[in-house]
Structure 1
Amino acid sequence: MDIHRPDLAVKKRRRNLIWIAVGVVALAISGYALSNLDPPAPSVARSTLWIEAVKRGDMMREVRGPGTLVPKEIRWIAAETAARVERILVKPGAKVEADTVILTLSNPEVRDLMLSAQAAKVAAEADYAARKMTLESQYLDQKATLATTEGDSEAADLQAEAEADLNKKGIISDINFRRTQLTARSLKVRLEIERERLTKFDQTMAAQLAADRARIEQLDNTYQLRRRQSDALNVRAGIAGVLQQVPVEEGAQLAPGTNVARVAKPDVLMAELRIAETQAKDVQIGQKVGIDTRNGIIEGLVARIDPAVVQGSVQVDVDLVGALPPGARPDLSVDGVIELERLNNVLYVSRPAQSQQETRTSLFRYDTRASRADRVQVELGRASVTQIEVRKGLTEGDQVVLSDTSQYDKYDRLKID
C-alpha cells in the first residue's frame, strides 16, 4: 500500500523555488553584463571622412567676416531752405564735376530776402562813407583850433620874455608885465585842453567808425547768407565723382535740411566688415587685412572699430592700400580676413567642424595600422579662420578626423574601411 509522505512534496516545491530564483539571478546578471558591453564599432568609409595630421610650427591667427566696399568720400547735399523741386537735370550713375548742377529748386522768397539784404548793406556803406567824411572834417577843424592856440601861446611867451627886460629897466610897469605873464599861462592851459580835446575826438571818431563797420559786416554776413541760399537753389555736386542717389521727385516740396542728392568718389573706396562679436575682441587698429572681391585680393589696414555691437557683429572699417582689381565698385560684397597675430612653435590642426576656441572637446584619432579611430579628449586653444591650436590630448603627427562626426556621438570607436 502507498504511504503518504507530505514532507517529500514540501522538499520538491522548495527545490523548484530555489531553481527559479537561481534562474532569475542568472538572467539579471546576464542582462547587466550585456548592458555594459560597448556597442559594436560602426564601419565608416575612409573617403567620407576628412582626416588630417597634427602639425607643429608657426600658426597665423586670423578672423574672417563679410562686408561691402563703400566710398571713402561721400557728400550728401541738402536743401538749405524750404523749396520746390523744379527739374532734375542729372540721373543717378552719371559722372559729375564739382560745379555740375544736379537739380534746380525754386523759392521766390529767398531771392527777395537776398535783394533786401543787399540794399541794406549798400545803404549802410553809404552812411559809413558820409559819417566818415563828416568826422574827418570835424577833426580837421579841431586840428586848426589847436594850431591857432599853439600860435597864440608862443606869441604870449615871446611877449612875456621881451617885457621882462623892459620891466627891469622900468620902462613897463609891474602890473602890465604881470598881466602879460597871466595871459601866457592862460594860453598854455588852453593849449593842453585843445590837445586833449583833439585826442578824445580822434578816439571818438575811431569808435564811431568801428561801430559802423561792425554793422556793415553784420549786414554783409546776412547778404552772403541770403546769396548762398539763393545760389543753393541750383544744387551742385560739390565734388567730382559719381551721382549715387537723388531721393526726391520733380514737384516735391522740401523742408530745410532735406537730403536731395548723394555724390561719391568711386575710385577711393574702403571696406566695411562685420566681425562676430566673439572674435572682434582681438581686432586692433593697424592690423593687416586681405579683402577678397572674388576677382582679386586687395591689401588693407584696420582703420576703425565700431564700439557698438549690432545683431551679434562689430563693424570694422578697412582702409585699402592696394590697387583695386577690375570690377571693384561701391556696394560690392566682399570677404575680409584680418591677421591678428603669429603664434610661434605651437601644435595646430585644421579647424574641426563646429569647434570653438578655448574649449575641451573630443575627436577621433585615426590609427592607420588598425584601421580604426578612437575617441580622445582634446583641449583646444586659440583659433584662426581655418586652423586651431591644440594644447592637450594630441601629439605631432597624430591623424585626426576633422569632419562632422555628431552622428557617432554614442560610439568611442569607429572602424575605418
Structure 2
Amino acid sequence: MKIADTSGQDVVLAPSKNRKKYLFVAIALAVGAAGLSTLAPAISNWSSAEISVPLQRLRLAQVTQGDFVRDLSVQGQVVAAVSPRLYSPAQGTITFEVDAGDEVSVGQVLASIDSPELTNELEQEESSLQKLIMELDRQRIQAKIQQLENQKAVDMAKVALTAADREKRRADKAYETNTISQIDYEKAQDELENARLVYQHAVQDGNLDLERLEFEIQSSQLQVDRQTLLVSELKRQVDELSLRSPVNGIVGNLAVQQKNQVARNQAILSVVDLTQFELEVAIPESYADDLAIGMDAQVNFNGETHQATLVTISPEIENNQVTGRVRFASSTPQGLRQNQRLTTRILMENKANVMMVQRGQFLESGNGRIAYVVSDGMARRQTIETGARSLSSVEVLAGLKPGDTIIVSGTDQFDGAELVQITN
C-alpha cells in the first residue's frame, strides 16, 4: 500500500535578497574596528605588565607642593608641675603633723624627726665654740699685757739712752778742759753707744712681739670662725628636722608610718601643687635625636588646641622611650586633672614650599627610594629620593613632580615589578 505525501502541495520559492543582514554585519565590523583601536593601548599595556593588582587593594595619593610640617604625636599624662618630695635629713623617729590629702601652705610644719645624735653633736660643738671664744679673749688680754711690758722696756731703754747722751755731753766739756782722763772720756762714749743699741733692740723686740701676738690672735680667731660655721651648719640640720612645706598644695602619700624609725635621705612624703600642670610624654627612641628643648607643641583638650613648649628631655632611654615634659605656653586650661591623658603634637620642623606626599607603607617597602607612579591604569616603578617625614606626610626631594599620583600602600606584593596593571 502506498502512502501519499504532501510533496504535491509544496511550492518552490526563489530566495529573496536581505540587505538588512549585510547592513548589520557592516556596522558590527565598524564597531569592532573602533573598539580594537581603542583597546589596543590597553592590550599592549596588559601584555607588557608583569603583574595585575585590583584597585581595591591599593591606596593612592597625589604629590603636592606646599608647607611641610614635621611633627610627632604622642600621648601625654597630666602631672603636677611642682611636686617636691621631702626626705629625712637625719636618722631618727618620725612624727607626722598632717595626714595624706591635707591642704598645706608654704612653711607649714608637716613632720618632725627626733634625732638625739644630731642634737647632742650640736650641743658639743656649741660648747667647743664657747671654749675657743674664751681662749681667744684670754689671748687678747695676754697680748695687752705683753705689749705693756714691751712698751716699758722701750721706755726704760730710752731713759737710759737719754742719760748716756747727757753724760757724753758732760764728758765732752770736761775733756776739753782736761779735767777727765782719756779713758773716762772713751768710757762715756761707749756707754752712749750701748744705750743707743739697747734702745734700738727694745723697739725691734717690741715690734716683733706685737706681730707674734697679732698672728696668734688671728689664728685663734680663725679657729673660732671655723667652729662658728660648724655650729651654724649643725643648727641648720637641727632646724631641718622639722620638715616644712615648700609650696602651697596638698599632702601626697606618706612613705612611712607614724613614729617609725627613718634613715638619712629616706623619702618621707610629697607635696603636690595643683595650680600648675605639665604633660609628661613618652617619646619613641627613634625621635630622640631630633628633639630639642624649646620646640613648639600643641595639646588637644576638650576639642581645643592649646599651645605649649617642650621644656625637658630625659637623657636616659627606658623601654625604647625617652621621657619629656611639655609646659603650656599661657595659663593652664581649666578642668585639667592629674593623671589625665591627652594627645600632644610636637612640631619638630617647618619647611615652606616643598614637594610632599601622603605618608604610607611604601616608605618601608622601598626604604623611601622606590615609588609606583600611576597613569592610565598602569603603575610604573620610579626611583625617588625622600627627606623629612612627619606623621602624615613625607618630603619628596627628587623623582616625582607635583600632580603625580603614586601608590602609598605597601608595594611588597609587586615583587619589584617594573610595570603593574591596575584593574577595577
**Are residues 1:277 and 2:285 paired?**
yes
**Given that residues 376 and 393 in structure 1 are in contact (C-alpha distance below 8 angstroms), is that contact kept between their aligned partners in structure 2?**
no
Give me the whole-angstrom Cα distance separating, in 2, the residues matched to 1:366 and 1:323.
Answer: 52
Which position in structure 2 is the counterpart of 1:384? Answer: 390
Q: In the TM superposition, what is the alpha-carbon distance from 1:272 to its structure 2 partner?
A: 4.3
Q: Which among 55, 61, 80 is matched to residue 70 of structure 2?
A: 61
Give me the whole-angstrom Cα distance separating, in 1, the residues matched to 2:165 and 2:206.
Answer: 23
CA-to-partner distance for each residue in 1:179-198, whole Å, 9 max, x for gaps? 22222211111112211221
**Given that residues 363 and 369 in structure 2 are in contact (C-alpha distance below 8 angstroms), is that contact kept between their aligned partners in structure 1?**
no
Which position in structure 2 is the counterpart of 1:246? Answer: 254
**Are residues 1:129 and 2:137 paired?**
yes
* 1:121-270 alignment runs, 5 A limit: 121-240=129-248, 243-263=251-271, 267=275
Identify if the C-alpha distance between structure 1 residues 106 and 337 changes in structure 2 by more than 3 Å, giving closer, same or farther: same
* 1:58-137 alignment runs, 5 A limit: 58-70=67-79, 75-92=84-101, 94-97=103-106, 99-137=107-145
Identify if the C-alpha distance between structure 1 residues 262 and 177 changes in structure 2 by more than 3 Å, giving closer, same or farther: farther
TM-score norm. by structure 1 comes to 0.74
Identify if the C-alpha distance between structure 1 residues 169 and 43 changes in structure 2 by more than 3 Å, giving closer, same or farther: closer
CA-to-partner distance for each residue in 1:215-269, whole Å, 9 max, x for gaps? 3233323323332332222111245555445322212211111122334655565
Q: Unaligned 5+ residue runs, structure 2? A: 1-47
**Given that residues 97 and 109 in structure 2 are in contact (C-alpha distance below 8 angstroms), is that contact kept between their aligned partners in structure 1?**
no
**Given that residues 298 and 323 in structure 1 are in contact (C-alpha distance below 8 angstroms), is that contact kept between their aligned partners in structure 2?**
no
**Given that residues 362 and 371 in structure 2 are in contact (C-alpha distance below 8 angstroms), is that contact kept between their aligned partners in structure 1?**
no
Q: Rg bigger for which structure? A: 2
CA-to-partner distance for each residue in 1:263-300, whole Å, 9 max, x for gaps? 46555655544332333333344433334455654444
Please give the secondary structure, in 2, of the residue aligned with 1:197: helix
Give me the whole-angstrom Cα distance separating, in 2, the residues matched to 1:175 and 1:295.
Answer: 123
**Given that residues 294 and 334 in structure 1 are in contact (C-alpha distance below 8 angstroms), is that contact kept between their aligned partners in structure 2?**
no
Which position in structure 2 is the counterpart of 1:338? Answer: 346
Please give the secondary structure, in 1, of the residue aligned with 2:356: strand
Identify if the C-alpha distance between structure 1 residues 80 and 314 changes in structure 2 by more than 3 Å, giving closer, same or farther: closer
**Given that residues 298 and 324 in structure 1 are in contact (C-alpha distance below 8 angstroms), is that contact kept between their aligned partners in structure 2?**
no
**Given that residues 296 and 325 in structure 1 are in contact (C-alpha distance below 8 angstroms), is that contact kept between their aligned partners in structure 2?**
no
| Equivalent residue letter for 1:154 | T
CA-to-partner distance for each residue in 1:10-58, whole Å, 9 max, x for gaps? xxxxxxxxxxxxxxxxxxxxxxxxxx9988764749xxx8654321123
Identify if the C-alpha distance between structure 1 residues 326 and 184 changes in structure 2 by more than 3 Å, giving closer, same or farther: same
Which position in structure 1 is the counterpart of 2:297? Answer: 289
Please give the secondary structure, in 1, of the residue aligned with 2:384: strand
**Given that residues 90 and 263 in structure 2 are in contact (C-alpha distance below 8 angstroms), is that contact kept between their aligned partners in structure 1?**
yes
CA-to-partner distance for each residue in 1:369-411, whole Å, 9 max, x for gaps? xxx6747556361211211123556542244565x57897699
Which position in structure 2 is the counterpart of 1:22? Answer: none
CA-to-partner distance for each residue in 1:108-141, whole Å, 9 max, x for gaps? 3333332222222223222322232122122122
**Given that residues 349 and 390 in structure 1 are in contact (C-alpha distance below 8 angstroms), is that contact kept between their aligned partners in structure 2?**
yes
Identify if the C-alpha distance between structure 1 residues 93 and 408 changes in structure 2 by more than 3 Å, giving closer, same or farther: farther
**Given that residues 358 and 379 in structure 1 are in contact (C-alpha distance below 8 angstroms), is that contact kept between their aligned partners in structure 2?**
no
**Given that residues 59 and 343 in structure 1 are in contact (C-alpha distance below 8 angstroms), is that contact kept between their aligned partners in structure 2?**
yes
CA-to-partner distance for each residue in 1:42-76, whole Å, 9 max, x for gaps? 4749xxx8654321123122233334455555543
Give me the whole-angstrom Cα distance separating, in 1, the residues matched to 2:158 and 2:367.
Answer: 100
Identify if the C-alpha distance between structure 1 residues 391 and 142 changes in structure 2 by more than 3 Å, giving closer, same or farther: closer
Which position in structure 2 is the counterpart of 1:21? Answer: none
Q: Which moved more, 1:129-138 or 1:406-415?
A: 406-415
Q: Please tell me the root mean square deviation across aligned C-alpha atoms, in Å.
A: 3.7
